[in-house]
């Protein structure tokens, strides 16, 4: 089913890749390569050229080169080839595996080359408050009207002032149903069965997600600013830690396929991508609730190629492109027009499109201000114990 009533929800090791390297595709595994030089092609579907979209920026830049900073797995060779075919612009991409590492690099001066960044919803709020983002010129964007209504005026960025939502999903548990006779239904399963899954389970390498799941287990919000609640979550994780093989956002994939792992905390898009490789793998969004994330496209202030950035946004909003990304890369689309042309089996996949009964219990990550230091302190202690 398509997402409905998501408007009240929001979400959430730097890795650099070059076009000469190959990586398996997932939300955090990236494949990209240089495209050959060819002429700009007209978009036959809508009768306009991406390359004709221009901003008012006067900053000097190479109009044929676009640097983006993205989550891994958000593009592949076919996508880059088609963008080059339609615009004549070569994309060079670096990838990150957490919003915090992306922001840290950007603030440290390492983000000056990027014209497109892929922050999650709560990070859009934070970056906008830090005056790091360009206010989007909607007259240069084609496809905003094709988004589901809840993504046209999201709480984290009213009226899409700074961002365009590109994908969304949940955080949950992927597990081997053949090896676990009792399937997990909620976060508490990890604690209740920690002897069974001893050193055969992983959690993501993300402070907000990990402490968030422990908070949710205790009945608190993922975004709690109650210091005592956060401490309790930390103490719960200390109990669980001896059973944890590692904190990894990607490493669980190969391990669960060869049955070294029994269960792993992961993002729904990763689960959807890997499940076809092993029929025994299942994904569950915990019934007590989880995080509901939205990843977006933004243009940073002082972007060297804002014209190319708008072309990338328009390209990614094309319904056929967005639908192909769902089919090929297993990312849930925010485009209603793209959803409508998906095969029925994908529309009905609960990993990609969970029912409303699940979504209404989920919540997005929100900026926490000074309390982020509390989360970080306990996260550091947890990792060092």
338-366 pLDDT per residue, tens = 999 999 999 999 999 998 888 899 999 88
Residues 265 and 156: their CA atoms lie apart, in Å, by 25
What is the domain class of 50-168+293-352 according to CATH?
alpha beta
* 50-168+293-352 and 170-292+359-384 agree in CATH topology: yes
Residues 53, 307 contacting (CB under 8 angstroms)? yes
Average pLDDT on 53-72 reads: 71
Residues 166 and 153: their CA atoms lie apart, in Å, by 14
Confidence class for position 61, pLDDT limits 50, 70, 90: low
Residues 66 and 85: their CA atoms lie apart, in Å, by 14
pTM of model > 0.85 = no
Q: Is the pLDDT of residue 139 over 50?
A: yes
- H-helix or E-strand containing 336? helix 336-340
In tens, the pLDDT along 73-85 reads: 788 888 899 999 9
Confidence class for position 62, pLDDT limits 50, 70, 90: confident
Residues 364, 208 contacting (CB under 8 angstroms)? no
What DSSP designation does 138 have? G
Strands 332-333 and 163-176: antiparallel
Residues 176 and 88: their CA atoms lie apart, in Å, by 45
Q: Is the pLDDT of residue 54 over 90?
A: no
- Among residues 2, 22, 36, the alpha carbon closest in space to that of 341 is found at 2
Rounded to a whole number of angstroms, the CA Rg of the chain reads 20
User: Options 3.30.70.260, 3.40.50.970, 3.40.190.10, 3.90.550.10; which CATH number does 170-292+359-384 get?
Assistant: 3.40.190.10
Structure-block tokens of residue 63 = 């109009």
Average pLDDT on 174-179 reads: 97
Q: Is the pLDDT of residue 177 over 50?
A: yes
Report the pLDDT value the prediction gives residue 373, as an integer from 0 to 100: 96
Q: Is the pLDDT of residue 182 over 90?
A: yes
Longest Cα–Cα distance of the chain, Å, equals: 62
Residue boundaries of the structural domains of the chain: 50-168+293-352, 170-292+359-384
Confidence class for position 240, pLDDT limits 50, 70, 90: very high
Residues 206 and 266: their CA atoms lie apart, in Å, by 11
């Amino acid at each position: 089913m398509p997402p409905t009533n998501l408007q009240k929800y929001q979400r959430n090791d730097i890795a650099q890749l070059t076009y000469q390297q190959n990586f398996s595709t997932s939300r955090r595994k990236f494949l990209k390569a240089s495209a050959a030089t060819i002429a700009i092609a007209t978009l036959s579907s809508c009768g306009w050229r991406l390359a004709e979209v221009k901003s008012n920026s006067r900053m000097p830049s190479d109009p044929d080169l676009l640097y983006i900073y993205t989550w891994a797995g958000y593009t592949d060779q076919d996508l880059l080839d088609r963008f080059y075919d339609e615009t004549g612009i070569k994309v060079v991409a670096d990838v990150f595996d957490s919003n915090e590492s992306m922001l840290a690099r950007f603030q440290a001066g390492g983000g000056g080359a990027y014209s497109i960044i892929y922050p999650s919803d709560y990070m859009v709020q934070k970056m906008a408050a830090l005056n790091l983002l360009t206010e989007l010129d909607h007259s240069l964007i084609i496809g905003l009207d094709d988004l589901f209504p809840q993504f046209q005026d999201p709480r984290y960025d009213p009226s899409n002032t700074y961002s365009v939502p590109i994908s969304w999903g949940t955080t949950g548990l992927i597990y081997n149903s053949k090896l676990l006779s009792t399937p997990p239904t909620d976060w508490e399963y990890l604690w209740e069965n920690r002897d069974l899954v001893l050193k055969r389970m992983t959690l993501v390498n993300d402070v907000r997600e990990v402490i968030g799941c422990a908070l949710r287990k205790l009945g608190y919000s993922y975004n709690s600013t109650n210091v005592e609640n956060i401490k309790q979550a930390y103490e719960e994780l200390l109990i669980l830690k001896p059973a944890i093989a590692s904190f990894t956002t990607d490493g669980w994939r190969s391990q669960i396929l060869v049955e070294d792992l029994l269960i792993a905390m992961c993002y729904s898009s990763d689960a959807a991508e890997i499940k076809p490789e092993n029929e025994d793998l299942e994904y569950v969004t915990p019934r007590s609730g989880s995080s509901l994330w939205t990843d977006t496209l933004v243009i940073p202030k002082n972007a060297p190629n804002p014209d190319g950035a708008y072309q990338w946004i328009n390209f990614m909003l094309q319904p056929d492109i967005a639908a192909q990304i769902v089919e090929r890369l297993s990312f849930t689309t925010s485009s209603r027009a793209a959803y409508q042309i998906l095969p029925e089996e994908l529309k009905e996949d609960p990993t990609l499109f969970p029912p409303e009964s699940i979504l209404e219990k989920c919540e997005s990550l929100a900026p926490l201000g000074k309390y982020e230091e509390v989360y970080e302190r306990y996260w550091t202690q947890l990792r060092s114990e």
